[in-house]
Structure 1
Amino acid sequence: MPSTNLYLNFNNPTQFIEGWYWTLPSNKLKIGQVKAITLLGRNLAIYRGVSGQVVAIDAYCPHMGAHLAEGNVEGDNIRCFFHNWKYNERGICVDIPSLEKPLPVCIKTWHTAEKYGMIWVWVGEEKPSSLPFVLELEQADCDYILGTRFVKNCHPNVLLINAIDAHHFNTVHNLPLEIVFDSQDLNPNAITFSNTTRGGDDSWLIRLIRPLYRKEVTYSMCYWYGSTGTVTLGPDFLHFYIIFALRMIEGGKTEGQTILVTPKRPGFLGWVVNRGLLWLTQQVGNYFAKGDTQVFQTIQFNLQTPTKADKSILQFIQHVNHQKALTWEKWETVNYSNSQIPSTPNSELTLIEQEKNGFKI
Structure 2
Amino acid sequence: MQTQTFNHPTAFIAGWYWALPSCELKRSQVKPVTLLGKDLAIYRNADGKAIAIDAYCPHMGAHFAEGTVDGKGLRCFFHNWKFDEQGNCIDVPCLGKALPLQIKTWHTAERYGMIWVWVGKDIPQQPLPYVPELKYDECDALLGSRFLKNCHPNVVMINAIDAHHFNTVHKLPFEIIFDKQELNKNAITFRNTTRGGEKSWFIKLIRPLYKKEITYQMCYWYGSTGTVTVGPDFFHFHIMFALRLRENGKTEGQTILIAKKRSGLGGWLFNRAVLWLTKLVANYFAKGDTQVFQSIQFNLKTPTKADQSIVQFIQHVEGQEGLTWGSWETYSPPQSLEIRPPCLKVCTPNEIV
Q: TM-score, normalised to structure 1's length?
A: 0.92
1:38-117 correspondence to structure 2 within 5 Å: 38-117=34-113
Deviations 1:290-320 (A, max 9, x none): 1111111111111101011100000000100
Match of 1:327 among 309, 320, 324: 324
Distance of 1:73 and 1:351 partners within structure 2: 58
| Paired residue type of 1:196 | T
- Residues 242 and 259 in structure 1, CA contact (< 8 A), matched pair in contact too: yes
Shift of residue 139 of structure 1?
A: 1.1
Is it true that 1:174 corresponds to 2:171 in the alignment? yes
Deviations 1:119-157 (A, max 9, x none): 000001142111100111111111111000111111100
| Paired residue type of 1:16 | F
Match of 2:134 among 129, 132, 137: 137
Shift of residue 211 of structure 1?
A: 1.2
| Paired residue type of 1:66 | A
Shift of residue 214 of structure 1?
A: 1.1
| Paired residue type of 1:65 | G
Deviations 1:32-78 (A, max 9, x none): 00000000000000000001111000000011100000000001101
Higher share in helix: 1
Deviations 1:172-205 (A, max 9, x none): 0000100011111100000000002243111101
- Residues 195 and 214 in structure 2, CA contact (< 8 A), matched pair in contact too: no
Is it true that 1:183 corresponds to 2:180 in the alignment? yes
Is it true that 1:211 corresponds to 2:208 in the alignment? yes
Distance of 1:300 and 1:344 partners within structure 2: 15
Where does residue 269 of structure 1 map in the other structure?
266
Shift of residue 334 of structure 1?
A: 2.5
How many pairs were matched up?
A: 346
- Residues 119 and 328 in structure 2, CA contact (< 8 A), matched pair in contact too: yes
Identity of aligned residues (%): 66
Shift of residue 7 of structure 1?
A: 2.8
1:185-200 correspondence to structure 2 within 5 Å: 185-200=182-197
Where does residue 17 of structure 1 map in the other structure?
13
Distance of 2:71 and 2:97 partners within structure 1: 20
| Paired residue type of 2:75 | R
Q: TM-score, normalised to structure 2's length?
A: 0.95
Which shows bigger deviation, 326-335 or 38-47? 326-335
Shift of residue 209 of structure 1?
A: 1.1
RMSD (Å), alpha carbons: 1.7
Where does residue 301 of structure 1 map in the other structure?
298
Shift of residue 333 of structure 1?
A: 1.4
Shift of residue 102 of structure 1?
A: 1.6
- Residues 311 and 352 in structure 1, CA contact (< 8 A), matched pair in contact too: no
Distance of 2:178 and 2:45 partners within structure 1: 45
Unpaired runs of 5+ residues, structure 1, are 355-360
